Amino acid sequence: MALARRALLEVRVGARSPRETMLRLVIVRVGLPEPMVGFAVHHHGAFVGTPDLAYPELRIAIEYEGQHHRTDKDRYEDDIVRRELFRRAGWLVFLVTDRTLSRPQVLLGELEALLVERAEGSGESAKSDG
């Protein structure tokens, strides 16, 4: 019963894949701030996209790239355009693949460094309060 309660506390509406959820949980369980799920990015009033996970205050989009992002030509082309739109809107896109997810210490070290770097420029704190 305790496991079910914990699972319910960790559910977030809007997650589009089990890997996105796994990535979010890995991030949170090491004490980094929880990224938002389903945050819609707009720039000059135009919709840019909804990254898999986001730190809106730092303009960091985290995108999980499964194999279909590489093997589906249309998806691959769309991803390039999408990343450019995020870049033009002032967002940094942090890409995660199965390989990087399988090495969580490296992944989290890179993400934490990025959070610290972006927070220093914005005055935000990169470590979670809770």
**Residue boundaries of the structural domains of the chain:** 18-122
Fold designation for 18-122: Endonuclease; Chain A (3.40.960)
pLDDT at 129: 43
The count of other CB atoms within 10 Å of the CB of residue 76 is 13
Q: How many CA atoms lie within 13 A of 35 on its CB side?
A: 32
- DSSP structure class, residue 91: P
Mean pLDDT of 4-18: 56
What would the pLDDT profile of 54-113 be if each residue is shown by its tens digit?
A: 999 999 999 998 766 566 788 899 999 999 999 999 999 999 998 888 888 989 999 999
pTM for this one? 0.79
